[in-house]
Amino acid sequence: MHAALVGPLLAALLVTTRARPQPPDGGQCRPPGSQRDLNSFLWTIRRDPPAYLFGTIHVPYTRVWDFIPDNSKAAFQASARVYFELDLTDPYTISALASCQLLPHGENLQDVLPRELYWRLKRHLDYVKLMMPSWMTPAQRGKGLYADYLFNAIAGNWERKRPVWVMLMVNSLTETDVRSRGVPVLDLYLAQQAEKMKKSTGAVERVEEQCHPLNGLNFSQV
């Protein structure tokens, strides 16, 4: 049977033909002696072939790649099938995610937020737009990324979005996050690598399964 990697939520299931060695001391943690001894968060599901649950995180992959132990990377390399939370390489997924963030019935954020909160938000976004050119790196400019384009890519159409999605957007509009734009998050990076390696890829969730719980939050919960 072929190895496979599957990813629900912030995790991925990995099927390989070799079981992960069990610690000889009953599972007690030890200080890592080398990079290979780091806790990989690669969990065994006993079956034939065995399956593994691998946790990922939605941050630029360069922040965490060096901390992913070799056993996890080797398992990914050996996998013939890879399944992620969502298929972030599919244009439909990206389009559906954008659509689900919009307020219904043509409403605008100004219609649903308290007036003072709306204007505080607008002033903050004006500040971010003003500061963004100074936040960007030479490497980003070398790739053809410019401040206006990047701001619109992140915050474009913000007045039409539901409050919960605006909150998530604002949280990502920091100098540190702006400087990392253009670097794929770990999930997307693994999906891109899987495609380059001609692995079979797929998703275990639909966009609606992610959007509906967030869109169901009321204003007091955001």
61-104 confidence digits (pLDDT tens):
988 888 888 888 888 888 888 888 998 888 999 999 999 999 99
| 109 and 158 assigned to the same domain | yes
Inside any domain, residue 217:
no
Q: What separation, in Å, do the N-terminal and C-terminal C-alpha atoms of the chain show?
A: 45
| 76 and 113 assigned to the same domain | no
CA distances to 9, 190, 198 from 209, in Å: 10, 22, 28
Q: Which residue has the higher pLDDT, 18 or 144?
A: 144
Task: Give the number of other Cβ atoms within 10 Å of residue 42's Cβ.
Answer: 20
Edge-first strand order for the sheet with 200-203 is: 42-45, 51-55, 11-15, 4-6, 81-84, 200-203
- What gap in Å lies between CA 186 and CA 52, rounded to an integer? 18
Average pLDDT along the chain:
82
| 145 and 35 assigned to the same domain | no
* Backbone dihedral angles phi then psi of residue 10, each to the nearest 5 degrees: -100, 35
26-66 confidence digits (pLDDT tens):
333 354 566 656 666 787 778 777 777 788 878 899 888 88
| 150 and 122 assigned to the same domain | yes
Please give the radius of gyration of the chain, using alpha carbons only, rounded to the nearest integer: 21
184 close to 60: Cβ distance less than 8 angstroms: yes
Whether 198 shows a pLDDT value over 90: the answer reads yes
Number of domains in the chain: 2
| 13 and 73 assigned to the same domain | yes
- What gap in Å lies between CA 102 and CA 161, rounded to an integer? 4
Cα-to-chain-centroid distance, residue 113:
28
* DSSP secondary structure code for residue 87 in this structure: -
Percent of the chain whose predicted confidence (pLDDT) is above 90: 45
| 199 and 142 assigned to the same domain | no
Binning pLDDT at 50, 70 and 90, where does residue 127 land?
Answer: very high
Whether 7 shows a pLDDT value over 50: the answer reads no
Q: Identify the pLDDT of residue 82.
A: 86
The pLDDT of 113-134, averaged and rounded, is 96
